[in-house]
């Protein structure tokens, strides 16, 4: 329940309309980020692999 979680962690209880609006905006922004053009860009990355034996 997002209203309960927001009240616990943010100190403010949002109603269902506010939660829907926040989630909608975040979803729109995330989708735009996912669809951004990556061509012509160079990205550095670090790949870490590990294993443990117990």
Q: How much is the pTM?
A: 0.55
Q: Which residue has the tokens 């860009």?
A: 41
What confidence score (pLDDT) does residue 2 get? 78
Confidence of residue 12 (pLDDT cuts 50, 70, 90): confident
What confidence score (pLDDT) does residue 37 get? 93
Whose CA is closest to 14, among 28, 29, 1? 1
Contact predicate 15/3, CB 8 Å? yes
User: Hey, where are the domains in the chain?
Assistant: 2-34
31 has a pLDDT exceeding 90:
yes
Contact predicate 2/19, CB 8 Å? yes
46 has a pLDDT exceeding 90:
yes
If you compute the radius of gyration of the chain from its CA atoms, what whole number of angstroms results? Answer: 19
Mean pLDDT computed over 9-20: 88
DSSP state for residue 11 in the 8-state scheme = S
Average of per-residue pLDDT values in the chain: 90
């Amino acid at each position: 329940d997002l209203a309960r979680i927001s009240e616990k962690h943010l100190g403010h209880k949002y109603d269902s309309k506010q939660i829907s609006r926040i989630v909608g905006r975040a979803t729109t922004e995330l989708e735009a980020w996912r669809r951004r053009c990556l061509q012509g860009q160079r990205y550095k990355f670090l790949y870490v692999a590990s294993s443990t034996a117990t």
